[in-house]
Amino acid sequence: MIRNILRVIIPILLLGLGILAIRYFLSTRPQVETTEQPQLVPVVRTMTAEEENIRLTVFSQGTVGPRTVTALVPEIAGRVVYVSPSLVNGGFFEEGEVLLRIDPYDYRLAISQAESAVAQARLALEQERAEALVARQEWEELGKGEPASPLVLREPQTAFAEASLESAIAALEMARRNLEKTEIAAPYDGRVREKSVDIGQYISPGVSLAQLYAVDFAEVRIPLPDADLAYIDIPLNYRGDDYDEKAGPKVKVRTKFAGREFSWDGRVVRTEGEIDPATRMLYAVVQVEDPYGRGRNPEKPPLAVGMFVETEILGNWVSGAVSLPRSAVREDDVVLLVDDDSRLEFREVEILKSEPERVIIGDGIKDGEVVCLSNLDAVVEGMEVRIAEEDSGGEDAS
C-alpha cells in the first residue's frame, strides 16, 4: 500500500520541483536590450540628362568584295610564249599592261596570205572592169541601137569581182585583228585573284585563264533591317531615275588587323533589287574608293577582298534627344530617375534607337533630370538612395 502511494507522490514532487526551478531561472535571467537597426540606403551612380542634337547611326557588317570582276579569256587559239610577272595570284597590274602573249607566227602568216588574196581580188576586179569596157564598146558598134543585157555588159561579173575584193579586205582585217589578239592586255588597274595558265601551254578560245578584279573601288554588301531604314537616307532605285553614286549616306568601315583597328571612309551607293525572303533584310552596297592605296597612314593595311568588316552608317539628325548608356534602361523601356529628395522615380521613355554602347531617348526625359545608372536588384517607387560622389571610396550598389 505504502509502495503504491510513493509511486504517485514522487513524480508529483519531481514535477513541482522542476516548475519551481524554471520559474527561478526565468526570474533571474538578464534583460536583453533591443536596438533598432539603421535602414541601409543604397549608393547609386547617376548622370544628368542633357538634350542635344544627335546624329543617328546604323551598324551592320559584311565582307569586302570587288566592284568589277573579269575572267581572262582568249579569243584565239595558240601556244603561250609570254606570261607577265604580274600575272600571279595576288599580283597587281596596270591598265594596258600585256599580261599574256600567244605565239604570233601563224597569225603573221595569215596576214601575208590575206594580203595576197586582196592583191589577187583587186587584179581580178581590174580585169573585169576592163573587159566590161570592151564589151560595152563592141555592143555600141554592133548592137544597132538595141539595149544590151547586163550579162553582155559583164555587170554581174564586175559586181562579183567587187564583192570578192571586199571579202578579201575583210579577211585581211580579221587576220590583223587576230594578230593583235595574240597580246592580251589588262582592261583596267587591278589584281589577280586566281591564275591557271603558264608558258608553253596551248590555249583555246573561251577557256578562262585567270580571274581578275579592279582595285579602283571595293564594295561591302551589308544587310539592313526594316526598322533601321527610318534613320538613314538610303538611295532607293526607281526606274528612270538618274544614278548618283554620291547621293547615299557616308559610312565608316572598320576592321581589326594584326591586333589594331583601322577605318576607311565609304558611302552607300545603291540597294539591291530584292529583299531577302529568309531574313527580310534589304541589302545595301557600300563603296570604298582606292582600297589598296596607302593614303595618309603608311602603316594602314589594304582593304583586301575577303576581309570581314563592321560598318557605321551616318544617319539623320535628331534634335532634343537624350543619350544614355544601355545600362540605364530597364525592361519595358523604363528609366529610373532620382528626384530632389533623393528618391527613385519610374519613368517610361520613348526609345528612338538602340546602339551597341548607348540608347537614344526621344521623349520621356527632360533636360537636367538625374538618371540612375546603377543596376538595382530590388527597387520600388519612392525608394531612397544616396548618390555616389566621384571621389567617394564607398561601394556602389550596382
pLDDT tens, position by position, 145-182? 677 778 877 888 888 999 999 999 999 999 999 999 99
| Distances, alpha carbon 9 to alpha carbons 2, 13, 16, 17, 353, in Å | 10, 6, 11, 12, 89
DSSP-H helix ranges across the chain = 2-28, 105-142, 155-180
> How far apart are the C-alpha atoms of 349 and 365, rounded to whole Å?
7
| Span of 243-247, 268-272, 317-321, 331-335 with lowest mean pLDDT | 243-247
- Residue range 91-107: average pLDDT? 94
CATH second-level architecture of 70-103+182-213?
Beta Barrel (2.40)
Is 255:310 a contact under the CB 8 Å cutoff?
Answer: yes
Each domain of the chain, given as residue ranges in start order, spans 44-54+318-387, 59-67+214-317, 70-103+182-213, 104-179
SS3 334: strand
- Residue range 180-195: average pLDDT? 94
Question: pTM surpassing 0.85?
Answer: no
pLDDT tens, position by position, 241-299? 666 667 788 999 999 988 889 999 999 988 887 888 888 888 999 999 999 887 666 77
Pick the more confident residue, 330 or 244: 330
> How far apart are the C-alpha atoms of 250 and 245, rounded to whole Å?
11
Report, in angstroms and rounded to the nearest whole number, the Rg of the chain calculated over CA atoms: 46
Q: What is the per-residue pLDDT for 177?
A: 95
Which listed CATH number (2.40.100.10, 2.40.420.20, 3.50.30.10, 1.10.1740.10) goes with 44-54+318-387? 2.40.420.20
Share of the chain above pLDDT 90, in %: 42
> How far apart are the C-alpha atoms of 91 and 192, rounded to whole Å?
5
Q: Which residues pair with 34 in a beta bridge?
A: none
Q: What is the per-residue pLDDT for 287?
A: 93
Is 75:209 a contact under the CB 8 Å cutoff?
Answer: no
> How far apart are the C-alpha atoms of 385 and 45, rounded to whole Å?
10
Pick the more confident residue, 189 or 26: 189
What pLDDT band is residue 300 in, cutting at 50, 70 and 90? confident
Is 70:191 a contact under the CB 8 Å cutoff?
Answer: no
Residue 29 has pLDDT above 80, yes or no: no
Q: What is the per-residue pLDDT for 243?
A: 62
Q: What is the per-residue pLDDT for 391?
A: 37
Domain 59-67+214-317 has what CATH class? mainly beta
Q: What is the per-residue pLDDT for 272?
A: 84
Residue 7 has pLDDT above 70, yes or no: no
What pLDDT band is residue 130 in, cutting at 50, 70 and 90? confident
Q: What is the per-residue pLDDT for 226?
A: 83
Q: Which three cell numbers stand for residue 356?
A: 551597341
pLDDT tens, position by position, 197-242? 999 999 999 999 999 999 999 999 999 988 888 888 887 767 766 6
